Structure 1
């Protein structure tokens, strides 16, 4: 089905980075995407990472990290905003599926962040549940503003950091897994133009593994 031995958080992160590097280089291997893998994973799943990312159509997780069936437990919302359903899904991934890695994936030119910035700048409200989305992104944008950050990349990075902190603050299950060394949480920022995923923040990942991510 999957690797016989469970991966450490560092090994899982390295595996994820390796896939992204292949994607950036234009040399994907498309692992675990054949009939054999389909049969292997039919009885059950053991993904090596929970990937919580933005719903943006350009962030298809298995493509940009060059993975396949049963590799990633994917949760996506616009602007990677986290409500109870998201928290429950992530807790399922780490406590039931034993994923050693949780990834928060943001990206440049994020529509949810741009809409929030616009709403704060001009005071124009939105309708429907988009308003709820903007309200959930607002603390990140305000924190970036308070820190004097004005560039899109810096504001996106702040939103990624805020999301990582929120997950750990609100989920005792996840926080306990990280404290015990069983799981690490990393925040990545994806560049749409070149396809690379850059490390923004990490909780529970050894320094040497985090250093490798800065070159992603």
Structure 2
């Protein structure tokens, strides 16, 4: 079993390669492992990320076939079925790092801010189910000075939403809480920059030895 700290460094190294327009040979050849993966998988990290087409976790972290257990949903929100997916991977495969991955200029965040500013706008019931998950973490920002600076507002809203999702995973699941306390599971929050290609891990990062 690979520790959370080791996996985190692996993801950082992979992201640095991606941002530098480099791919590792292991990643390029990972498709050759397709046969051995037929009977099982041992992903090194669980990534709960946004569905945005510009942020595919395997590419952003330069990982290959079978390396990541990826859960994608608009706005990287946490709902019961998504918590269940994280629980499944952590318990079934022994994966010890969970990354909640948000990104700059997130459209789901923008849609939520627009809905809060213009509540009469018509959205589908299903879209509102996403907005309602994001709303509590960003609503307070609209009452602060940030409301006058759109760029800063979106930046802080993206991070607030990542923090909310990460904390939900840490404290909203009895199974995950036990794995955190007793088995080395670590949940971290991160933001991918569409501008630079770099991922910043800013929440829950374990201290260096």
TM-score, normalising length: structure 2: 0.90
Please list the CA deviations of residues 17-75 of structure 1 after superposition, one character each: whole Å capped at 9, or x if unmatched: 11001001111115344443112212100000000000000011111100011100000
* Greater helix share, structure number: 2
1:45-56 → structure 2 map (5 Å cutoff): 45-56=41-52
- Paired position in structure 2 for 1:168: 170
1:26-65 → structure 2 map (5 Å cutoff): 26-29=21-24, 31-32=26-27, 33-65=29-61
Please list the CA deviations of residues 146-200 of structure 1 after superposition, one character each: whole Å capped at 9, or x if unmatched: 6654512222111111110111221111111111242111100000111100112
| Number of aligned residues | 202
Task: Give the 3-state SS of the residue equivalent to 1:74 in structure 2.
Answer: strand
**How far, CA to CA, are the matches of 1:66 and 1:188 in structure 2?**
16
Q: 1:156 to 1:35 in 2, by over 3 A?
A: closer
| Aligned-residue CA RMSD (Å) | 1.7
Q: 1:177 to 1:144 in 2, by over 3 A?
A: farther
Q: 1:153 to 1:49 in 2, by over 3 A?
A: same
Which consecutive segments of 4 or more residues in structure 1 shift more than 3 A? 32-35, 143-150
**How far, CA to CA, are the matches of 2:192 and 2:46 in structure 1?**
16
- Structure 2: stretches of 5+ with no match in the other structure: none
Conservation of the 8 A alpha-carbon contact between 2:169 and 2:187: no
- Paired position in structure 2 for 1:212: none
